[in-house]
Structure 1
């Protein structure tokens, strides 16, 4: 029996093509921290024997070789933002950060006035060091405050106290006009008034950006193995509403589930992430999403610093980027991955952006959109899609509607 394959079926099996490539960000991972926090599931590694035991110069050289090896994947594309994450990137000297940024500028076309963010923890702040970070080209600082309450800082395993927290913010504001404060709520034994005090204290500083994350018990963390007493769902929801109302009164716009910014001060790097933009990640355990005309790929670098350094050694670096894992994002997964990010945006997104970033027509998820609207989780028309207040509150329920029904063939 002869099987006849129609042209339509052949076309349907082809990978969707992108008419244009999205913006490109650069993520640089510094994996070391002074102490591993019990809630942290990031690829971070506690410094053994003091800060001087970090192989800083060797790691900087490895990052540069990693970037050089990755260039063919992003050749000619402009970089719109740079983000140093960790770990605690502020453990590194300003000289090292300067050397990394010098290599970035030499190897990639960096957009004029690109946003360049460095994550820092209060226990690493020194006046001269942060002035030098600014001189090296860092123009946005993200400080891991988590709480202003000394008891909660202790329960979270932070190495700084409340006095160091206030001092760090003051130093930051003397050197940077774009500062983010990371806070957490629904902490062990936290009351609504304690959460309110944290958020009001942060807002009083008038920084350009505040992130407020719900503490979750992630697998492979100490808190997951030994759960502390956390606020129940009702109290956590009260805290979230209080945070949104308090920051709105302070002039902050809740533009993403956990992100609040003064007008025009949204994080450009994170906005690119949430709108399914591209990012090249270098460093131990860094993730990348790179689009090509005919495919979208995700990559993960080797996670353990020693293994990463071995894979980027001069004698092996010529064999390519130190990739632990790489896979292509299939047709069925593109829609879900886009929605998983973009539905976190309070204002939602345009249907045109969905098509531009996925290469797929919005009609491919019409049934899911109608179901989400029927359940009052989104509002949508032919031009725009946005979560409702209910959709924001029950984001996981909303996202489940868009889960792929079956894997790509």
Structure 2
């Protein structure tokens, strides 16, 4: 799509300063970068665990990283914790206990904090699940992807369908808040096969489902050697039938790829979509931290060994910059417009420190094109806007 939108006028860029009257909610993300095998579609910062994991060395680095970050978040309560990867469930129960004990010792963790752990069905057993629960993890996210053995092999997964089902059954014995990650649009997948994955998942009544359309990301094996994927029209049919089936089974479609039973939305992810703050520690972790007059972004060193070395030198942050005020509206919308119910119009000023009037023309254009609805209280994407989200976001992208 081509536009000639001028988002900011010269007067605006000189006079509109960032001013946050209150800081947004704060989350903590902890990255554990190792996995058993690098999946051909994965573009996350993950590394195959070819030798013995440096578990204790890495836990010590996480502790020091968090200590070094404390001055930037001093006194702020943490409402959610997410331990992601990689495959965090490769780490031992003892390591997870150490990590969460450190978090509780150094941070004012909210009494009802949501604490999520990502787990691979091929790396879990009953004792580990029990230990993770005892350590304080109260939400589990299982990377199922499919219940079809042929598709699991094409995705390079280390588990099979029976292993996936067994992992879910074990998880249900210890957790009452479980997310299942599923993918559709897989190599040579039919619509019936995609729906069979959804029906199988529903047999376990998970509190949350994340359903992603497989995309070919740069710097992945699938991008270099593309497999035969279903066409765009077929993927669209899969998406619509998935949405309809989950709605009929009582799931709320609250974000582009997220569905939950009522009241079971992922609070950590919701904080992202509402442009909340998050401190990321661990190799390659990203942070977004607000201050009264600016919004900062950071990234830690990506390679695990380089990260641990830099932590030992008290400098784990590789890049850091303040978000330019002319970029804040796009960054806010890139997150908030993923929410199907949109956002309260007051949230824009609360999270960016800028007046909503600054993007009045862009909002009018988006509404005129039928991509959003708005009143005096909320701004939300329409069904058309959700289906053409990139086109909608482009309206708010600064015209350079």
TM bucket (normalised to shorter chain) is: over 0.9
Name the SS for the 1:230 alignment partner: coil
1:405 Cα offset (Å): 2.2
C-alpha separation between the residues in 2 aligned to 1:230 and 1:157? 15
Shift of 1:11: 8.9
Deviation at 1:200, TM superposition (A): 1.1
Q: 1:373 is matched with which residue?
A: 367
TM-score by length of 2: 0.96
- Structure-2 change in CA distance of 1:141 and 1:403 (3 Å): same
What is the SS of the residue equivalent to 1:77? coil
Kindly state the Cα deviation for residue 332 of structure 1 after the two structures are TM-superposed: 1.0
Deviation by residue 1:207-256 (Cα, 9 ceiling, x = unmatched): 10000001000000000000000010100000000110010111100000
TM-fit CA distance, 1:404: 1.3
Query: Which residue number corresponds to residue 107 of structure 2?
Result: 108
Structure 2 CA distance for partners of 1:153 and 1:294, relative to 1, 3 Å: same
1:364 aligns with 2:363: no
Shift of 1:9: 6.1
What's 2:179 paired with?
180
Aligned to 2:20: 18
State the alpha-carbon separation in 2 of the partners of residues 344 and 136 from structure 1.
32
Q: Please give the alpha-carbon distance, in whole angstroms, between the structure 1 residues aligned to 2:248 and 2:120.
A: 27
Match of 1:147 in 2: 146
Q: How well do the aligned residues superpose, as a CA RMSD in angstroms?
A: 1.2
**Could you tell me how far 1:15 is from its partner in structure 2?**
3.6
DSSP 3-state at the match of 2:348: helix
Give 1:404's aligned residue.
398
Aligned to 2:259: 260
Matches within 5 A, 1:317-396: 317=314, 321-396=315-390
- Structure 1: state its 5+ residue gaps: 1-7
Shift of 1:382: 2.8
User: What's the secondary structure of 1:312's corresponding residue?
Assistant: helix
Aligned length: 391
What is the deviation of 1:305? 0.3
Residues 180, 211 of structure 1: 8 Å contact kept: yes
State how far apart, in whole Å, the 2-side matches of 1:131 and 1:36 are.
27
Matched with 1:5 is: none
* Cα separation, 2, equivalents of 1:158 and 1:11: 49
Q: Deviations over 1:12-35 (max 9, x none)?
A: 356411010000000000000000
Q: Which moved more, 1:28-37 or 1:40-49?
A: 40-49
Q: Is the 8 A contact 2:120 2:143 kept in 1?
A: yes
Give the Å deviation of 1:312.
1.2
In the alignment, what sits opposite 2:157?
158
* 8 Å CA contact 2:12, 2:358 repeated in 1: no
Asked if structure 2 preserves the Cα contact closer than 8 Å seen for 1:15 and 1:295, the reply is: no
Structure 1 stretches of at least 4 aligned residues deviating more than 4 Å after TM superposition: 8-11
Match of 2:32 in 1: 30
The CA deviation string for residues 61-81 of structure 1, in whole angstroms up to 9 with x for no partner, is 000000000000000000000
What is the Cα deviation at residue 388 of structure 1? 0.5
Which residue pairs with 2:5 in the alignment? none
SS at structure 2 position matched to 1:216: coil
2:184–2:212 contact (8 Å) kept in structure 1: yes
Larger mean CA deviation between 296-305 and 370-379 belongs to: 370-379
1:40 matches 2:42:
yes
The offset of 1:10, in angstroms, is 10
Aligned equivalents of 1:397, 1:390: Cα separation in 2: 10
